[in-house]
Amino acid sequence: MIILYAVERGDSRAEAASVTLGGLAAAALSISVPVLLRQIGLIKRLPDVRWRGFDANRVTTSPEAYPFGIPDGAPASLLYAGELALVAARRRRRGKRPTKWIDRLLAAGVGAGALGAAYYGYQMAAVERRACIYCLPAIALNFAMVPFAWRILRGRS
């Protein structure tokens, strides 16, 4: 929907992909913040679905959710905020010099997010044997960002 609006306005496909990528990063950030607040103890319990196999509180506080001793919500939130900042910087430079370095940093961040999402998806399925209702959409959003980052790299405006 966002990409269609941007193309109708006359933006290039890369610009439209940039707008969409920003929306996906904002959605992922809105999911990762409550998880981070739970992990650092500001929220006692996350609201959860009562379906068999789902336990957001157990998954987000498991040892696997604390790589290198820090909650995984912190680097995830920083990654999404960084992606938003790069999209904003890219949009500000429209009509000026090419944004090759911004595009590459953005693609690298999206790639790192997709790799992290694949790792945590495996951890939930194989190690925890429980799913997190917050983590599943975040994983999906990370994978959904990949084609838009690729479009930005391939068709810089």
Q: How far apart are CA 52 and CA 93, in angstroms?
A: 49
Q: What percent of the chain has pLDDT over 90?
A: 68
Q: What is the pTM of this model?
A: 0.87
- Average pLDDT, integer, range 55-68: 91
Q: How far apart are CA 154 and CA 157, in angstroms?
A: 9
Q: Is the pLDDT of residue 1 over 80?
A: no
| φ, ψ for residue 143, nearest 5 deg | -70, -35
Q: 2-44+52-154, which class in CATH?
A: mainly alpha
Domain boundaries, the chain: 2-44+52-154
Give 93-103 pLDDT, tens digit per residue.
Answer: 666 665 788 99
Give 3-55 pLDDT, tens digit per residue.
Answer: 445 445 556 788 889 899 999 999 999 999 999 999 999 999 999 888 899 99
CB count within 10 Å of CB 31 equals 20
